[in-house]
Structure 1
Amino acid sequence: MRFAALFFCLAFCGFAHATPVSLIPLPAQLQLAKGSFKVDEKTSIRVPANDQAASASAQYLAGLIASTRGLHLGVTDAGVASQAIVFQRNPKLAHAEGYILDVTPKGIRIEAHDDAGLFYGAVTLFQLLTPNAQHGEVQVPALHINDWPRFAWRGVMLDSARHFQAVDKVKQLLDQMAQHKLNVLHWHLTDDQGWRIEIKRYPELTRIGAWRTPPDAGHDGEPVRYGGFYTQDQIRDVVAYAAARHITVMPEIDMPGHAQAAVASYPQIGVTGKRPPVSVDWGVNPYLYNVDDASFQFIDNVLDEVMALFPSHYIHVGGDEAIKDQWKASAAVQAKLRTLHLKDEDALQGWFIGRIGSYLSAHGRRLIGWDEILDGGVPADATVMSWRGTDGAIKAAKLGHDVVMSPAPDLYLDSLQSQLPDETAGRGPVRSLEDVYRFNPVPAVLDAAQAAHVLGAQANAWTEHMPSMRHVEHAAFPRLDALSEVVWSPASSRDWMGFLARLPAQFQRYAAQQVDYADSAFAPVIQVDANTALKSGKALVKLSNQAGYGAIHYTMDGSAPDGQAPLYDKPFNVIWPVTIKAAVYASDGGMLAAARTRLIDREHLLSRTGAELVNCKGSDFRLHLQPMPDATSMLPVYAVNIFDTCQQYLAAPLDDIASIHVEVARLERNFALAHDIKLVVPRPHSTPHGELVVHLDRCDGPAIASAALPDPANSTRRFALDAALTPQHDEHNLCLVFTAPTDGPLYAFDRVSLIPSSENKAKP
């Protein structure tokens, strides 16, 4: 009975929180009234004469409605009238970016004091006009909305340095940001792996620095040459496109570290004077800018062109992960440090950042950097972006600096969204939709005066493991829906179940605009106890999903489950072999998550995918990687720990198991680990390329199987290993270890299968 109650609630409880209007982010104040107003082809949009901003917002609304609902509304400045959508100025409204939206049976009115308020009123009305996937006329419920943002900074960082996105793809992200009332695009344009912005004075930055030769170039789908850059005309176009949607584009030009692409282009600005390649390795590379006058002149000249392209008040200078080995080894840099009477290299970085801050201030701009800029002292007017958790923000706010909350892993969009077998590439730990929704941008330890320094928050789309915009969209949506509510709506209005109830309509808007959102929060998880099933011939099937929301329908005959398929309300027993398929539906019958399938038979009960294995004790680091660093496919992905190759198959049933079959993927080891290289665990190997070794119970337990790894030069990237197992009884943990040399490729488990004796294989 407890199971029945629990899963009935899973299917239906969330629907009680459904609101008559599916708005994201939730407005500050919303009051429903009686009646409704019909919007159809006869409805006009009226704007004040000679008000270009109002006209632009009206045209934006009309264009969105035409493209998503097929409803064409004319825009006119023929004065105020009933039975129309009216945009109007209201100088009495006090909140910046705020608006009032009234719907009555006689018409719709949007009022705002500033241009942004009119625009955001149009965004809210767009959502009211698209409550479902239907086309044509729509009845809008009567209501009164008084709305304004909680925070001024509502951002997204797009990393175009690691993987380059075409201009039209960047614009697609800007379109969705606008529809979520997000107003800062932090554009990461330079790093070790690429320089993406044209600088007229220094053409080598894009002739050389914008391109890299990938590992194993030209093989297995890896491009021979990878890269690209934005011309200055393209950047102006993107900046103008964003501005029309009330989004500020803030550039990031990394310094003093993450400078390898720049140094590859102009070696004289580096510390050693030698030309490195543009990096193919993710992580922390050693190349820094020099600290001599010529290098600062180079940086100043670059910043001059950057400031001419980007009117943003803030210029981001990075400041993160600048390991100081090159500075420590340079006699010239050490002499400079002594001349400046600085105690160490961290203080030298503080001096470096301070000099850049002064240059930006002299040109009417303001410096912002990652929280490492605090380590060596920072200009008094610098703004700090906290990424190493929230400690940097707390320290900065207490020192009187403005801060933007952007902590890892909470707001890192390259964090995995789930542990689903079909989850795309990313890094652990999982940061779910609910994790983002429950994020609080204001740390509780700050008093009111310190909390006032929190400008807002942003999510970061680092693209080491997101090589295409499809990956970015999958990682960003719907987690950006959650972020938009965190940074726009009042904290007191936070309601997780109510938020979920508003998502189905948003998913339909995504579908209409071909946004490749993730359904990870709602996807059905099909659970069975494999060992119990093997012993009994029956499997107890449990269905659930991450969000705990939606109606789960399932089939057992291999057919696709629709809304008429059996509704899951409690665990059920099946006799295997059987194929379970499950999908999740919203209360209106729309699909929340596509069907997932689990085949329950002896072969699958005796196997685990690489994602189902767990790290051995000692390191919790985990990445889900694609076959090649620049692969653009969404699957397959492989779970790896780049520090320790040991993975565990927990509670392996070893009675009558004769051998082990392991499907393996060979991956590129393109990771710059800097000082963390000491954490990599080497394993002794007895064959030239290493082995797969299976240990019993513990990672230092007895070896019960071994198979040699093939020569990477003469084998495919995916291959299988088979090894006889020393006979065992009962259930044991198996530690599976690759002993390959740590200066060679990585190896990942695709699937690990236990193979019964011939007698067992013959059993039904």
Structure 2
Amino acid sequence: MGKGLAAFAAAWLATMGIATATPAAPAWSLLPQPAHAYPAASPAVEIADGAVVAVHGADRPQLQAIVDRFVHLLADTRGLRLHATTAADARAAITFNIDPHADVAGGAGYRIVIDDQGIRITARTPRGAFYGSVTLWQLLTPPGWTRGSAAEVAAGVIDDHPRFAWRALLLDSGRHYQSVAEIERLIDWMSLDKLDVLLWHLTEDQGWRLDIPGYPALTKTGACRNAVGLDAELTGSPDQPYCGHYTAAEVREIVRYAAERYVTVVPGIDLPGHAQAAIAAYPWLGVTGQRPPVWTDWGVSPWLLKPDAKTLHFVDDVLDEVMRLFPSKYVSIGGDEADKQQWNASPAVQAQMHQLGLANMDQLQGWFTGQVAGHLTAHGRTPVGWDDELVAGATLPAAEVVMSWHGNDGERVALAALRQGHDVVMTPQESLYFDHYQSSLPDEWPGQPPMATLRQAYDTVVIPHGASAAEAGHVIGVQAGLWTELMPDFARDQHALYPRVAALAELGWSPAAAHDWHGFLQRLPAELERYRALGIGYADTAFAPAFDVTAGAGDTLRVALANQTGFGTIRYTTDGSAPTPASTAYVRPLTLAARDRTTLRAATFMPDGYPLAAPRMQVLDAATLLGRDSSQLASCSHQPGMRLGGRQPARGPRPVYTMDVGDMCWLWPQAPLAGVTHVNLSVARVTWRFGDEAKDAVVRPRVGAAGEFEIHADSCTGPLLARLPLTPAAQASGQTRLGAPIATTPGNGARDLCIVATGDPRDGQWALARITFSKGNTETGVPQGERRTGKR
């Protein structure tokens, strides 16, 4: 904080009778944490229904619009209806003032003073006033707020400004399309977490989403793909293609809407890879001259743009339209995952590479990117691209901003970009790719591996280790990515993004010295309540109770409860009733009689009774330890499995399967086989659409025409304990139950098991939902212990 701001805060606190050496405990629950907050012990200010909000100073029309949106937001969420006025009004409880000479930090900074004269927000610019209005909304929605009641705001001073200028979310509209209304809702929510960049990923192998004059086939052909797999549920039929694109008018509307909320929309046009949809529209853009389909697989396609003059003219035309539609200083041109097998196989491309005096195809991609970047810089724009070429040892155009997604190996790639003089945006896939699933709970939603928890997101390294102070100054921000292969609808988007966006917000806005995981957790419940008031379908998995059930002494079960964060109080019931804040608090593992059938339900609460997570349930009896969901099994590669959604059944939740793509194989270490006579499997076939995983698919020989599941002891080539033919399941559209006797020897105890499906996964990968053993003949009916944990 500047000397002027520090002096102001100290002087103000002195007039309030507050010493500044040891500030009082924070009186506000704000997220992201402000740069500087000085609570006071003076009486709180009350803001009740009908309170007056005065609008003063410069940029009056823009400030009026900000205040109007603030008033509507407060009415919609808190239920308080305030009255805004531009007239001098001594009764004003809240005053917004734009003063270009105000002693605040930068154009995005603001100051809030709360004392016996009311609440005063001061900023140099409308942007700063907007962020001040967001903080004021949070001050008026503290922990435990009640809709419609008057709000009390503790006195003090807040002097705030962002740490980074680029606080971004990437939205992939190429794999799955979002409506204009959904994108605008997302922009609203982003702005309330003080994020200011939406990187809009508009072109992909699976869909070209932007109208370009002169190239009608880009959207007529390139915006539609066959409805493969679960896409058929979205279109209503496998015969109805999955389509969607944005007109120029729709783009302008989204850009305008975002600008009013101080969010910049940065367009993303991926080059030269991720271009199969464009080549499907215009085959001359590719190397082979052939027309591929718009891709229906996920992964890395080998269809690259041909790096010649004709293609570059096309790219210039596309970028010219992009620059007309998007006023953003930045334009993202991709550059990632460019599989060069077609370039390497092309004599024409080989000849071009040699003619340019280049040593390899990575250098040719660098040349191509340089031509594209030059067109942008000639028009006053700044190119933004991925760090892949740096990983390959090549260079990027000097003007290019690098988005570093290779966060492993100690941020080595980001550090290399900084040392080459690039500005860098940190977006490591390990912690800030929000399409990665958030927990190992059985009811976790679909997502990519490996797991990226709320804590991992919060602890993202934003300044690479080893960076000098000068190099650190070139880190311009942080960005999370929502890639939508497994996000077919807006409900999935919300669940994947929130509350991890709150962690992203604090990374981007708050000073490094304020980074405090435990403080973040203390402030998060109030933010979750705001999310709920806004209608955001956030994930509660960071706080949801997990059940760890093991054999206890004698004929008992030992049940340990915990959640991912260790935050909140877990409360439980054993009679099947919903836990409440008055239910028994969990303090140590439970001991339950295995001969009984107990319905255990548990939920997590704050001390004030606020529920952090919905109740989870598990039915426990003698058969509990004889079954496991696929989420509780290991993959045979010992790598984290992918979580894939299955078909929506007529009743009940959509199933989710944990699997190693390309290898239909699961491990159950030390499975309890004593006395077991029968096994049941719940299985389903998942459409193969995993592109670049095909070459590594594991094919096991089939016995029957449809294949079978096999259970082996000790290893995947060990003694065969059971074979379950897949004929009954081969024609099913959803889950199927299979059962068979299991061969065991007298006195068998625990043994390592390998469960495999035979056949070629590329013909349709078999997913294992659940395996259950029993000690009696259960070929009909539901075996004991079949119902596992879930959200109830």
Alignment TM class, shorter chain as reference: over 0.9
1:184 pairs with one of 166, 187, 197: 197
Counterparts of 1:78 and 1:763, CA distance in 2: 72
1:106 pairs with one of 102, 117, 136: 117
Name the Cα RMSD after superposition: 2.4
1:97 alignment partner AA = A
Q: Report the counterpart of residue 548 of structure 1 in structure 2.
A: 566
Q: Report the counterpart of residue 32 of structure 2 in structure 1.
A: 25
Asked if the contact 1:353–1:373 (Cα under 8 Å) also holds between the matched residues in 2, the reply is no
Asked if the contact 1:47–1:75 (Cα under 8 Å) also holds between the matched residues in 2, the reply is yes
Counterparts of 1:438 and 1:87, CA distance in 2: 35
1:591 alignment partner AA = P
Change in Cα spacing, 1:690 to 1:426, as seen in structure 2 (3 Å) is same
2:361 pairs with one of 313, 332, 345: 345
Q: Report the counterpart of residue 203 of structure 1 in structure 2.
A: 216
Q: Report the counterpart of residue 138 of structure 1 in structure 2.
A: 151
Q: Report the counterpart of residue 492 of structure 1 in structure 2.
A: 513
> Equivalences for 1:618-637 in 2 at 5 Å?
618-627=637-646, 635-637=654-656
Matched, 1:722 2:739: yes
Asked if the contact 1:97–1:117 (Cα under 8 Å) also holds between the matched residues in 2, the reply is yes
2:542 pairs with one of 521, 525, 528: 521
1:574 alignment partner AA = L
SS in 2 for 1:750: strand
Counterparts of 1:252 and 1:69, CA distance in 2: 37
Counterparts of 2:432 and 2:127, CA distance in 1: 25
> Equivalences for 1:676-755 in 2 at 5 Å?
677-710=694-727, 714-728=731-745, 729-755=748-774
Counterparts of 2:578 and 2:488, CA distance in 1: 31
Change in Cα spacing, 1:133 to 1:329, as seen in structure 2 (3 Å) is farther
Counterparts of 2:672 and 2:484, CA distance in 1: 40
Name which of structure 1's ranges 632-641 and 660-669 shifts more when overlaid on structure 2.
632-641
1:406 pairs with one of 424, 427, 430: 427
2:108 pairs with one of 97, 102, 116: 97
Counterparts of 2:651 and 2:307, CA distance in 1: 39
Counterparts of 2:440 and 2:754, CA distance in 1: 21
User: Alpha-carbon deviation of 1:325?
Assistant: 0.9
2:62 pairs with one of 53, 64, 72: 53
Q: Report the counterpart of residue 502 of structure 1 in structure 2.
A: 523
SS in 1 for 2:337: coil
Asked if the contact 1:467–1:630 (Cα under 8 Å) also holds between the matched residues in 2, the reply is no
1:117 pairs with one of 128, 153, 164: 128
> Equivalences for 1:581-600 in 2 at 5 Å?
581-600=601-620
Asked if the contact 1:613–1:648 (Cα under 8 Å) also holds between the matched residues in 2, the reply is yes
Q: Report the counterpart of residue 456 of structure 2 in structure 1.
A: 435
Matched, 1:565 2:583: yes
Per-residue deviation, residues 435-482 of structure 1 (Å, max 9, x unmatched): 111112001211111111111111101111111111111111111111
Name which of structure 1's ranges 33-42 and 707-716 shifts more when overlaid on structure 2.
707-716
SS in 1 for 2:501: helix
> Equivalences for 1:354-369 in 2 at 5 Å?
354-369=370-385
User: Alpha-carbon deviation of 1:711?
Assistant: 7.6
Change in Cα spacing, 1:236 to 1:601, as seen in structure 2 (3 Å) is same
User: Alpha-carbon deviation of 1:219?
Assistant: 7.6
Counterparts of 2:673 and 2:301, CA distance in 1: 45
Asked if the contact 2:678–2:778 (Cα under 8 Å) also holds between the matched residues in 1, the reply is no
TM-score, with length taken from structure 2: 0.90
Counterparts of 2:372 and 2:586, CA distance in 1: 61
Q: Report the counterpart of residue 14 of structure 1 in structure 2.
A: none
Q: Report the counterpart of residue 499 of structure 2 in structure 1.
A: 478
Q: Report the counterpart of residue 329 of structure 1 in structure 2.
A: 345
Asked if the contact 1:84–1:107 (Cα under 8 Å) also holds between the matched residues in 2, the reply is yes
Name which of structure 1's ranges 496-505 and 747-756 shifts more when overlaid on structure 2.
496-505
User: Alpha-carbon deviation of 1:683?
Assistant: 1.7
SS in 1 for 2:584: coil
> Gaps spanning 5+ residues in structure 1: where?
1-16
Q: Report the counterpart of residue 250 of structure 2 in structure 1.
A: 234
Q: Report the counterpart of residue 168 of structure 1 in structure 2.
A: 181
User: Alpha-carbon deviation of 1:517?
Assistant: 0.5
Matched, 1:36 2:44: yes
> Equivalences for 1:276-291 in 2 at 5 Å?
276-291=292-307
Counterparts of 1:112 and 1:428, CA distance in 2: 43
Name which of structure 1's ranges 240-249 and 96-105 shifts more when overlaid on structure 2.
96-105
1:687 alignment partner AA = G
Counterparts of 2:652 and 2:474, CA distance in 1: 42
Asked if the contact 1:18–1:501 (Cα under 8 Å) also holds between the matched residues in 2, the reply is no
Counterparts of 2:499 and 2:116, CA distance in 1: 33
> Gaps spanning 5+ residues in structure 2: where?
1-23, 786-792
TM-score, with length taken from structure 1: 0.93
Change in Cα spacing, 1:751 to 1:630, as seen in structure 2 (3 Å) is closer
Counterparts of 1:753 and 1:222, CA distance in 2: 34
Counterparts of 1:99 and 1:613, CA distance in 2: 52
Q: Report the counterpart of residue 7 of structure 1 in structure 2.
A: none
Q: Report the counterpart of residue 86 of structure 2 in structure 1.
A: 77
Counterparts of 1:681 and 1:231, CA distance in 2: 44
Per-residue deviation, residues 489-543 of structure 1 (Å, max 9, x unmatched): 11111222221111221121111111101111111112210xx25x832112221
2:416 alignment partner AA = K
Name which of structure 1's ranges 309-318 and 603-612 shifts more when overlaid on structure 2.
603-612
> Per chain length, whose mean CA-contact separation is higher, i.e. which structure has more relative contact order (CA < 8 Å, sep 6+)?
1
> Equivalences for 1:235-314 in 2 at 5 Å?
235-314=251-330
Counterparts of 1:145 and 1:227, CA distance in 2: 48
Name which of structure 1's ranges 218-227 and 468-477 shifts more when overlaid on structure 2.
218-227
Name which of structure 1's ranges 44-53 and 335-344 shifts more when overlaid on structure 2.
44-53
User: Alpha-carbon deviation of 1:340?
Assistant: 0.9
SS in 1 for 2:441: coil
Q: Report the counterpart of residue 652 of structure 1 in structure 2.
A: 671
SS in 1 for 2:155: strand
Counterparts of 2:635 and 2:783, CA distance in 1: 33
Counterparts of 2:192 and 2:39, CA distance in 1: 22
Matched, 1:64 2:73: yes
Q: Tell me how many residue pairs correspond in the alignment.
A: 742
2:258 alignment partner AA = A
Counterparts of 2:198 and 2:55, CA distance in 1: 29
User: Alpha-carbon deviation of 1:24?
Assistant: 0.3
1:524 alignment partner AA = P
User: Alpha-carbon deviation of 1:662?
Assistant: 0.7
Change in Cα spacing, 1:630 to 1:493, as seen in structure 2 (3 Å) is farther
Q: Report the counterpart of residue 3 of structure 2 in structure 1.
A: none
SS in 2 for 1:275: coil
User: Alpha-carbon deviation of 1:332?
Assistant: 1.5
SS in 1 for 2:222: coil
Counterparts of 1:398 and 1:424, CA distance in 2: 39
1:635 alignment partner AA = R
SS in 2 for 1:48: strand
